[in-house]
């Protein structure tokens, strides 16, 4: 076999049409062997003799796409000094663009916690682990262009590749649960019809199931256990795993773009699947443990701010290069439109404390590629000082956990919530305004993959995670949920009506709040996990979205509660609710059609410049129609208020330039457990049209809603919300 010197950059295996250049970093290893794997189980070892800046490299003519390979690192196994090289382990390339196979939990993949390992000459590790794959980088993108949807027009939809598509009745069975399923017309039609502009995919980087779950007969379903930061997860591929997973993912992105939908990846750059000091040696640990991981004072162990066993060393130039190279690769080669960073506070831990001026943020800020896509932080981790909502740099948006908590508290009837609710509803200026950010820095959500689904939020007071095998000790115990009087499934029609009304309250509040709304997949159908709020290890019908088999419209099901029909039916856990989906769709499009609900700047509480009246851009009223005073905000039992949103003179950019809107709204919130009358403010318009009433099964259409005069009284059902529009 010919072996040429090759180049130290780019890292990884890079095919150029005639052969492949291999390059891998390790400062710890004394020598590294590239192992080409053959179909009969044998391997050909090639020592990488060339080294530049601790990058070993070689070019092999004739090595083509589909070739499986790995590395063996010969060097010190000295945990007391932080190094764990072991040539018995076949290691994945940290820059592998595709990975084949899966781990069989044989002892060969494990490291040795302390002491020197036995040096073996056999190849036991190879059949029991995964292999890196050389890929062909060519793909015909055609006229693909990123949608580049502005944040103020963005509606995020968080979804799991398998969970979203596995039970879809219109998908061929061989496509269900795969990247190809995301590109299927039936899935695209649902997303576009719902009004979704961005699909936020739970982890699609190659991940593994850890040994504990495997022994328990469970899997890592969510995927927050990355081992390959460049490789699409091979189990989601229907075309094959010798590089075909890359083509299939690109095909899905292209189809989503053609439908006007951006692709956001949930990425896990805070830790890897190698776990703690007892975990397996799969890649980074065996190549250069001390360069990749944050070690404890005793270097035999790892500093863990993620709850997973290890944390990447964010002050290491090689870790920073790995992350930035990975981000650029997914943007430039895979055409994704942004990233949601899991446990992003860990990325800011250059030393110990969370530091918004850390090197990682500096690199992102100046990077000409990464800085131009959507960057969303999960602004917390499990380490000391890890809750950092509102503290990320101006380029970033954040999952607003305080929005989630406050809105949940309001609708479950917690006292003294109005003041904070007012801030969350209007974009959380207390969190984002002082550092120059706008309401769009707040990604608002009620539910996500982590925690109760929307239906479970209104059906359970307590978590029910027994199926996870941890004695119900895992998962969040304080969910700010309320079961509406009965724990879990019930056939009580009053409880069922209240639960559906509460779900509509949450959806309407989310879609009419300033910021960027995010839906969790299946919540539009009332998906349940039967009270499991930590379903990370449940890969089955419990976590898969159930789709309706026939299109039943809300018009056919009864427009108002109490009309009979399906409204009083017994609870069928998991049955998709088409009426709720229709309501969600109506609220998404109400938001998209009226820019006053998606302002690009904070409210000022002063008259709108250029408007034809002297009204403030926002005003707050008691249910009696009086201006809210300080005592009204702080009253312990106050759970009701009216908000006036002035849409006059809001400029909305369009294809033909700026247009001036004239849409003003009143939002009436009654989170009280009793019905009450609301007085429509007398001096903010002569007449108002009811367009949403969450006490009904659906939003109104056109002009069919009731008209309420200025100063008129409007009764609101207990725990309900009404939206009034002032005709232009």
Give the residue numbers annotated as catalytic, written as ranges: 342, 378
**Which residues, 6 or more positions from 435, have their beta carbon under 8 angstroms from its beta carbon?**
393, 394
What is the rounded distance in angstroms from the CA atom of residue 587 to the CA atom of residue 696? Answer: 13
Assess contact for 97 and 242: CB atoms under 8 A: no
Strand partners, 43: 37
Q: Do residues 266 and 340 touch, judged by C-beta distance below 8 A?
A: yes
DSSP state string for 196-215? --EEEES--EEE---HHHHH
Distance CA 676, CA 153 (A): 35
Write the secondary structure of 398-417 as one string of H (helix), E (strand) and C (coil): EECHHHHHHHHHHHHCCCCC
Which DSSP string do the residues of 618-632 spell out, in sequence order?
A: EEEE-TTSPBP-HHH
- Residue 128 CA, chain-centre distance (Å), reads 32
State the Cα–Cα distance between residues 275 and 115, nearest whole angstrom: 18
Instruction: Decide: 721 and 509 in contact? Cβ < 8 Å.
Output: yes
28-56 CB burial, b ≥16 within 10 A, e <16: bbeebbbbbbeeeeebeebebebeeeebb
Q: In this structure, what are the phi and psi dihedrals at residue 589, rounded to the nearest 5 degrees?
A: -75, -30
How far is CA 360 from each of CA 149, 307, 426, 532, rounded to the nearest angstrom?
25, 21, 30, 35
3-state secondary structure of 103: coil
Longest dimension (CA), the chain: 88
**For the chain, what's the residue count?**
728
| Residue 411: C-alpha distances to residues 271, 499, 609 (Å) | 36, 11, 34
- Measured distance CA(78)–CA(300) in Å, rounded: 9
Looking up tokens 């975990």 gives 279
Neighbours of 104 (CB within 10 A): 12
Backbone angles phi, psi at 415, to 5 degrees: -75, 160
Evaluate whether 24 touches 68 at the Cβ level (below 8 Å).
no
Tell me the C-alpha to C-alpha distance, in Å, between residue 53 and each of 21, 86, 105, 365.
17, 22, 35, 26
The pair of structure tokens assigned to 108 is: 């060969």
Q: Are 399 and 376 in contact (CB under 8 A)?
A: yes
Alpha-carbon gap, residue 324 to 367, rounded angstroms: 9
């Amino acid at each position: 076999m010919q072996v040429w010197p090759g180049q130290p950059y780019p890292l990884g295996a890079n095919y150029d049409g005639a052969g492949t250049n291999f390059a891998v970093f390790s400062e710890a290893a004394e020598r590294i062997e590239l192992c080409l794997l053959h179909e009969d189980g044998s391997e050909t070892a090639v020592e990488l003799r060339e080294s530049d800046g601790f990058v070993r490299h070689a070019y092999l003519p004739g090595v083509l796409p589909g070739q499986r390979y790995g590395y063996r690192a010969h060097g010190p196994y000295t945990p007391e000094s932080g190094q764990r090289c072991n040539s018995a382990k076949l290691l994945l390339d940290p820059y592998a663009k595709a990975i084949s196979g899966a781990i069989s939990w044989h002892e060969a993949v494990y490291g040795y916690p302390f002491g020197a390992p036995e040096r073996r000459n056999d190849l036991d590790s190879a059949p029991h682990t995964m292999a890196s794959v050389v890929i062909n980088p060519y793909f015909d993108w055609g006229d693909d262009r990123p949608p580049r949807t502005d944040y103020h027009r963005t509606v995020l939809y968080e979804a799991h590749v398998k969970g979203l598509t596995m039970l879809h009745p219109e998908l061929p069975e061989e496509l269900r649960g795969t990247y190809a399923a995301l590109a299927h017309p039936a899935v695209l039609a649902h997303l576009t019809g719902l009004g979704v502009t961005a699909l936020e995919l739970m982890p699609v980087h190659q991940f593994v199931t850890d040994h504990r779950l495997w022994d328990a007969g469970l899997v890592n379903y969510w995927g927050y256990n990355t081992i390959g930061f460049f490789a699409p997860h091979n189990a989601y591929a229907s075309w094959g795993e010798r590089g075909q997973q890359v083509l299939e993912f690109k095909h899905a992105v292209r189809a989503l773009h053609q439908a006007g939908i951006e692709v956001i990846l949930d990425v896990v750059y805070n830790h890897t699947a190698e776990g703690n000091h007892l975990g397996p040696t799969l890649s980074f640990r065996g190549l250069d443990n001390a360069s990749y991981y944050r070690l404890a004072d005793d270097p035999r162990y790892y500093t863990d701010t993620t709850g997973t066993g290890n944390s990447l060393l964010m002050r290491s130039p090689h870790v920073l290069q790995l992350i930035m190279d990975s981000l650029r690769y997914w943007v430039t080669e895979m055409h994704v439109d942004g990233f949601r960073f899991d446990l992003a506070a860990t990325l800011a831990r250059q030393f110990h404390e969370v530091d918004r001026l850390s090197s990682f943020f500096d690199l992102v800020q100046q990077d000409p590629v990464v800085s131009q896509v959507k960057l969303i932080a999960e602004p917390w981790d499990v380490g000391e000082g890890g809750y950092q909502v509102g503290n990320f740099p101006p380029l970033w948006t954040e999952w607003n956990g305080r929005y989630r908590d406050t809105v949940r508290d309001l609708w479950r009837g917690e006292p003294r919530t109005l003041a904070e609710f007012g801030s969350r509803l209007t974009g959380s200026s207390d969190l984002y305004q002082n550092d120059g950010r706008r309401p769009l820095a707040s990604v608002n959500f009620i539910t996500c993959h982590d925690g109760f689904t929307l239906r479970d939020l209104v059906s359970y007071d307590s978590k029910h995670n027994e199926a996870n095998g941890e004695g119900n000790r895992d998962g969040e115990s304080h969910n700010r949920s309320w079961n509406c009087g009965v724990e879990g499934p019930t056939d009580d029609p009053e409880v069922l009506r209240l639960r559906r009304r509460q779900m509509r309250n949450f959806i309407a509040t989310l879609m009419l709040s300033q910021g960027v709304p995010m839906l969790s997949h299946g919540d539009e159908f009332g998906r349940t996990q039967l009270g499991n709020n930590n379903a990370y290890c449940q890969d089955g019908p419990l976590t898969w979205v159930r789709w309706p088999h026939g299109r039943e419209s809300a018009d056919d099901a009864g427009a108002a509660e109490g009309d009979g029909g399906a409204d009083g039916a017994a609870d069928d856990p998991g049955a998709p609710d088409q009426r709720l989906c229709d309501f969600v769709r109506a609220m998404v499009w109400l938001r998209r059609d009226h820019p006053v609900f998606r302002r690009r700047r904070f409210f000022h509480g002063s008259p709108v410049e250029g408007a034809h009246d002297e009204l403030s851009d926002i005003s707050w009223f008691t249910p009696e129609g009086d201006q809210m005073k300080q005592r009204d905000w702080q009253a312990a039992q106050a759970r009701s208020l009216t908000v006036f949103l002035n849409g006059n003179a809001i400029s909305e950019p369009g294809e033909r330039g700026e247009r001036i809107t004239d849409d003003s709204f009143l939002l009436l919130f009654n989170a009280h457990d009793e019905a009450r009358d609301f007085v429509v403010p007398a001096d903010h318009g002569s007449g108002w049209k009811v367009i949403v009433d969450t006490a009904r099964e659906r939003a109104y259409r056109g002009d069919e809603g009731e008209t309420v005069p200025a100063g008129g009284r409007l009764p609101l059902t207990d725990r309900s919300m009404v939206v009034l529009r002032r005709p232009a």
